[in-house]
Every structure is written in C-alpha cells, then in structure tokens.
Amino acid sequence: MNFDIKKYPTLFLADSVKSLRYLPVEKLPQLCCELRRYLLDIIFITEGHCASGLGVVEITVALHYVYNTPFDNLLWDIGHQSYPHKILTERAKKIINIRKKNGLHPFPFREESQFDVFGTGHSSTSISAGLGLSIAAQKEGKNRKTICVIGDGAMTSGMAFEAMNHAGEIQPDLLVILNDNDMSISKNTGALSKHLKNLKNIKYNDILKNSFFENLSFQYLGPFDGHNIFYLINILKDIKNKKGSCLLHLITKKGKGYLPAELDPIKWHTIPQNSLSSFNKTITYSEVFGSWLCEIASVDKKLMAITPAMCEGSGMLNFSRLFPNQYFDVAIAEQHAVTFAAGLAAAGYNPVVSIYSTFLQRAYDQIIHDVALQKLSVLFAIDRAGIVGNDGPTHQGVFDLAYLRCIPGLVIMTPSNENECRQMLYTGYMYKKGPTVVRYPKGKGVGVPLAPMNIIPLGKSILKRVGQEIAILNFGVLLEEALLAANNLNATLVDMRFVKPLDTNIIIELSSQYKFFVTIEEGIISGGAGSSVNEFIMIKKILLPVLNIGVPDMFISQGSQQEIRHNYELDAQGIEKKIFSWISSSF
C-alpha cells in the first residue's frame, strides 16, 4: 500500500519529528486519528503487533512533540509498543515491510535508526538502560533528557524494581512513563496490578495518596488519561523542567480505536497470520503441551504449572480454566518462575515450567543454582525453540541447547514430531532424579497421530534409515528435512532424540561402519548438540570426520521460518548441498 497524502494528509505533513513539531497543537488530535488508521492498515498487511501500538498513539505523538528526540533519549519497553514511534521517525513508508525478511525490525533496533536509543525485544530493561543513559547525560552536561515508556506488563519484572531502587537512591534526571493498560500479553496479575487499580480510585490531589513509587523516592504524577493529547502535552512540558526522578502514571486502553482489539486485547495482541493451512487440522506443539498438561493434571493433583505471562502463547489457556488451583501466572518474572518451581519441587510437588526458549535465558543462574545443583525434579517445557521467524533476533530460540547442555544432571530431549513431544513430556515429568528439558518449536507438528503415553528409555535413539558411507545424526524438528536429504544421498539417518544423555552406543556402533558423520540441529552450532558428538568422538579417539549443521555464529534476523531455514541451508535442499559439498571438497 502507498503512504497516501489524500488518505493521511496530517500524518503526511508529520513525516519527521521536526515536521511534527511545526504542527499547531490543535492539529494533533487529527494526527493521532490518522496515525492510528495508518497503523491498522499496515498491521493487517504485515500481520504484526496490533493492540499495544494502538494504545500508545497519543503518548508517542506527545513525547516527540515536546521532547527533542533523538537528542533526548526515548526508550520503549516492551518494544512491540514502538510501531507508532517508527512511523513518526522517518520510517512510515518502510513499515510496510516490518517483521519481513530484510524489512524493519519488529522492536526498537539501534542499527535501524538514531531514534531507537536502546534495542529491546523482551521486557523490563528500559529503566536500567535509561538510568545509565541519564547518568551519562548528567556527566555530558548538555541537558539531555531521558524518558522510559514502560507498559504491557513490563513493570512486573524484578529487573524494573531493581532499577527503580537504584534510581530512587541516586535521583537522576529520569522520567518513567507507566503505560497502565491493565495488560501484558495476557491479563496483568500480581499485587502491583492491584496497587495500580487502587491508585486509579484516588483523586490526584488527595493528600491520602501514598504510592509505592513515592516510597522509592520517585515524584509520582497521576494517574492521568493517556489518550488526552492536550493534557499530555501540558503535563510533559511541565515535567520537562523538573529535576530528579519522576513517574508519570497514564491510563490507556490497549487496542484503542479498533473495537475488536479493545474488547479482546489478548486475541488482538498480534494480527494472526493468514494461511490456507488453517484448514489443516494438524495441531501445534503448544497445543500438544496444553492437552498433555490437562491430561496429567486430571490424575495428579501435585502437578503445578507455571508460566511467566505466556498463558495463551504456551497453550495453557484451557488448563488455567480447568485447573485454576494448579496454575500460576507469575507475570514477566522468569527468574522467579524457575526458583518458585524449585521451591515447589523441594516441597514434594511436581512443577512444570512452560517458557519460551529466548526468555529462559534470563533465568540461567536459577536453573543452575536453584534447580540443577539441588537435583530438583522440575520439567522445563521450552516452547519456541529453534527458528521462530518474524519477531527477529531477540526471539530466535537457537541458544538453549548450547547454554543448557553444560549443566550437570540435566536431561535434554529434542522431539522431531508432536507424538515424540508428548512422550518426552511424560518421560520428563516421571523422571525424579533431577531436572528435565523438552524443547519444541513454534508452529504445527508434522501430522503424526498421538499415542498413549509411555516412558522413553533415557538416551535411546531411533534408526530411521539405513544407507552407505554417511551417517546423519539428527536432533529435533529437522528430521523430515534430514530424511529427504538422506534419501538423495543414500545416507543412514538416526533420530537421536536425546542431547543429554547422549546415545553413545549408537555413535560407537556407527563409527565402525561409516566414513562420515553429520549432525543436524536447529540451534547454534557452537556448543550445541553436534558439539557433544564431537567431544565424545575425540575422547574415544575415533578417527572420523564430522560435519555439524545448524545455526551459524551470528544473530538471526527476521523472516518467516521457511525463509530463514532456506537462507541458512537448514531445509532438505540446503542440508543435501552442505553434505555433498563438504564431502566433495574435503576428501
């Protein structure tokens, strides 16, 4: 679609922040209207984040109108609120390609624009980063302002509190805008959410008001209507002249201006991808996990399921309704989620932590110290493992095998289809000697039927095809692609299933029968599953060349899963090409 001056006349005039500031203030409501309409037009094409951006239109316009961005630092947290910001900062025409291959990043990205002061794809980093920027600005002495917009549940993370605790002590020139829409991706939970609701019921000038933020030595202002552009302009002009740390509490409506998104901001957090495959009855891996969870909970009251604010995405919605006493949404607090699970396990319960691969990185210390070191039986159901796609480098779940494999006592399973995923979840749940991991991808399975649950023998692989000269050891969901390549190369193919413990018996057996080993995984090669094969071969003094196929040593940008797999030769064609080229060139 075109950025049409006839359809968006005021927005067209505000094609840069300098142009925006030349607009008379009475034109700003019309600008907000057009910005919201353009945003809706765009996201129905790009299938990107919807409700969050709609809710911050007025805040975005007011901030760029009052503050001297990009000289003044403006940080967005969570980053999917930044679509209106991107449109107003000289990216209006480019946003049609947001989340697409070679297009705009879905979150603030420093390499993309000078207006993106600090990159973020997760949450709750803005106050820490903003504090650093504000201290630097203070030392610079040029009266540079720093503003952090934190919302969509980001204030529920411990990192945000840690930063506020520090800021309250040193009192930098810092403005924190709390975008309070009562939502993260799911409905907000926790005591802070209740406190914010109480603040809404107290008049601004009420002498009885005593907010949590004031006790942290922030000047608390609010709560105010975050959609009143004129009031926002005035209050921001006033705050701009204040010194010290301020928290501006703004009440907004997630999905503002689009009734379906206002009524159901959870469903409309993103625009769902249009696909003819919607008629395909194949279930997703998240749905496999959710149904398995319900099945186990129906017979085991000691199962306790934990999610850090990812109920819908992790397939836990039905479980949360059917088994509310066994379900815990701890908000965006991954570290707490893991140690909370450890406490439950120490008390004799059976915790299952459902978490995205890229978010589990935040709880690494807790996995090691609080779970693995104490040999506690916690099952980690790691969703969105491997190539995730359009959400870009912050969301690709390619590091988990590498960062988990080195932890002693951790069992790591990599299902290649939805039935294996189900069996592995059960295997991990029934294992009582320590923590277990089942890592599975985003999206649909391959269409295999689900069988009754059985425990899989630890470290036991499955021979899928017998060939000559080449033995391919596959870890995880690239099995179908590996099989196509193996057929063309007449290679042997093994579904390894376990990264830890590794099936060393099959490696020893195959090493005496084949000339070449190839390992395949949808994860970073450095330190990954293939590396475990290399280590075993070396320690056994097996003289055999090994090719590791996986994700190279780089951050993977946005694009569809299919595009990324093709680009990095992780589809059948690419795997075959890599193996053939390696054998031909090396020997």
Best CA proximity match to 270, nearest among 356, 368, 391, 180: 391
140 is in an annotated binding site: no
Nearest 5°: phi and psi at 573?
Answer: -60, -45
Give me the half-sphere count of Cα atoms (radius 13 Å) on the Cβ side of residue 438. Answer: 30
123 is in an annotated binding site: yes
121 is in an annotated binding site: yes
Q: Which amino acid is at 93?
A: K
Beta carbons of 171 and 137 less than 8 angstroms apart: no
Query: With DSSP H G I counted as helix, E B as strand and the rest as coil, what are the percentages for the chain, rounded to 5?
Result: 45, 15, 40
Looking at the DSSP bridge assignments, the partners of residue 150 are 77, 178
- Measured CA to CA, the distance from residue 502 to residue 500 in angstroms comes to 5
Q: Which two tokens stand for residue 23?
A: 């607009």
Q: Which residues are known to be catalytic?
A: 254, 334, 362
454 is in an annotated binding site: no
Q: Which residues contact 244 (CB under 8 A, 6 or more apart)?
A: 171, 172, 173, 219
Sheet of strand 174-180: strand arrangement: 73-77, 146-151, 174-180, 245-251, 219-225
- Measured CA to CA, the distance from residue 263 to residue 257 in angstroms comes to 11
Q: Which amino acid is at 266?
A: I
Which sign, positive or negative, has the C-alpha torsion 89, 91, 97, 101?
negative
153 is in an annotated binding site: yes
154 is in an annotated binding site: yes
512 is in an annotated binding site: no
Beta carbons of 369 and 194 less than 8 angstroms apart: no
| Numbered residues of the known binding site | 80, 121-123, 152-154, 181, 258, 334
Residues at the binding site for thiamine diphosphate are 80, 121-123, 153-154, 181, 258, 334
Binding-site annotation: residue ranges for Mg(2+): 152, 181
